């Protein structure tokens, strides 16, 4: 009887041992600013935060990821019905990086997609005509087909394509031999 009472008492007083929880090492790493921006692009209610983060991003980080950021920014142009003023500020900062040759076709494609959908494209077209004329000038015939407004259409068609830089050819008259 004594043994039995002791067993009951042990069960009552025994509490389960808690094991030490292990922290997952992969989740301890701090995300970079560009990773945070990419994750916030998927949340439609965080667009203004994304635009502000792009405006505050370091120039070196901006230059490394300029094409990916531009692609995501232009994706918001098609996804959202109303575009905030911060979008244009953030996109003009991307255009000021200097590596815009790869973004010409991207901007033209997104402009055409916006024209084909039921979105208002006139503000974005005017923005591109002020800040990035070469994107429109290279694709002016394709863009002019979609423009309904005659004054905008004439502005687009009046843009001149950038002439290629002059090349210096080798002249044999200045080649000296001994």
| CA-based R_g, the chain, Å | 30
Number of residues that this document lists for the chain: 178
Supply the pLDDT for residue 117.
Answer: 81
93-124 per-position pLDDT tens digit? 998 887 777 788 888 888 888 888 877 888 88
The torsion defined by the Cα of 158, 159, 162 and 163, in degrees rounded to 10, comes to: 10
> Do 104 and 127 have their domain in common?
yes
Give the mean pLDDT of 65-89.
87
Given this model, what pLDDT does residue 89 score? 92
Q: How far apart are CA 15 and CA 132, in angstroms?
A: 71
Do 91 and 108 belong to one domain? no
Residue 56, pLDDT score = 92
Structural domains in the chain (count): 2
pLDDT, tens only, 31-68: 788 888 888 888 888 888 999 999 999 998 888 888 88
Same domain, 83 and 131: no
**Domain assignment present for 174:** no
Kindly state whether residue 135 falls inside one of the protein's structural domains.
Answer: yes
Quick one: which of 81, 86, 48, 41 has its CA closest to 65? 41
d(C-alpha 120, C-alpha 32), whole Å: 34
Q: Mean of the pLDDT values across residues 61-88? A: 87
Question: Which residues, in sequence order, are CB contacts of 9 under 8 Å at separation 6+?
Answer: none
Do 93 and 40 share a structural domain?
A: yes
Q: Are residues 87 and 106 in the same domain?
A: no
The average pLDDT across 159-165 equals 65
Residue 38 lies in a domain: yes
Would residue 9 count as lying in a domain?
Answer: no
Residue 25, pLDDT above cutoff 70: no
Up-side HSE of residue 48: CA atoms within 13 Å toward CB? 4
Alpha helices in the chain (DSSP H): 2-13, 33-41, 47-55, 59-64, 66-79, 85-95, 104-116, 122-131, 133-138, 140-146, 150-158
Q: Are residues 38 and 52 in the same domain?
A: yes
For 144, the domain range is: 100-159
- Given a cut of 60, whether residue 164 has pLDDT beyond it is no
Domain-embedded: residue 104: yes
Q: Are residues 111 and 129 in the same domain?
A: yes
Longest dimension (CA), the chain: 121
What is the model's pLDDT at position 165?
47
Measure the CA–CA gap between 113 and 92, rounded to whole angstroms: 20
């Amino acid at each position: 009887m004594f043994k039995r009472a002791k067993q009951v008492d042990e069960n009552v007083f025994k509490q389960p041992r808690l094991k030490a929880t292990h922290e997952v090492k992969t989740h301890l790493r701090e995300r970079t600013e560009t990773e945070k921006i990419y994750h916030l692009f998927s949340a439609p209610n965080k667009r203004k935060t994304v635009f502000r983060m792009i405006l505050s991003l370091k120039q070196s980080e901006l230059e490394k990821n300029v094409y990916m950021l531009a692609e995501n920014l232009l994706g918001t142009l098609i996804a959202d019905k109303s575009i905030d003023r911060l979008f244009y500020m953030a996109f003009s900062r991307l255009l000021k990086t200097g590596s815009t040759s790869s973004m010409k076709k991207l901007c033209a494609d997104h402009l055409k997609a916006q024209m084909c959908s039921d979105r208002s494209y006139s503000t974005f077209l005017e923005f591109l005509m002020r800040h990035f004329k070469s994107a429109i000038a290279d694709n002016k015939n394709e863009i002019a087909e979609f423009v309904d407004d005659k004054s905008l259409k004439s502005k687009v068609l009046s843009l001149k394509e950038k002439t290629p830089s002059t090349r210096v050819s080798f002249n044999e008259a200045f080649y000296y031999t001994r």
